[in-house]
Amino acid sequence: MYVARQGDGEGGRLVQILKQALFGARDDKKTAYRKKKIPDRLRTAVMERDMYRCVRCGSHRELCADHIFPEVLGGEATLENLQTLCRPCNTSKGGRVEVSV
């Protein structure tokens, strides 16, 4: 049994032991979520369909293909699930699903 005492400099070790006990043997290295690249042909098809305009504000600058149902939530890169957004609109949308009423 390991006993940590205040000031012994072993606080980090105690945290590691507690994490292992509570969450099981896990690798501390986090695997970062990586977005898949939208194929150029699909990106072009989305832009053409949306007439090279942001579907939210109508801007024609800094355009990108955006997942309507976010990739991080399981949305796929299909023509039906992609829309053209300008960078500011895409940034403000984030990983949320927008519902229009």
CB-count exposure of residue 38 (10 Å: 0-12, 13-18, 19+): middle
Please tell me whether the overall predicted TM-score, pTM, comes out greater than 0.85 for this model.
no
**What's the whole-number mean pLDDT along residues 4-17?**
68
What integer is the mean pLDDT of 44-66?
A: 97
Q: Are 64 and 55 in contact (CB under 8 A)?
A: no
Amino acid at 43: R
Q: Among residues of the chain, what percentage have pLDDT more than 70?
A: 76
Distance CA 33, CA 40 (A): 21
Q: What are the beta bridge partners of residue 84?
A: 65
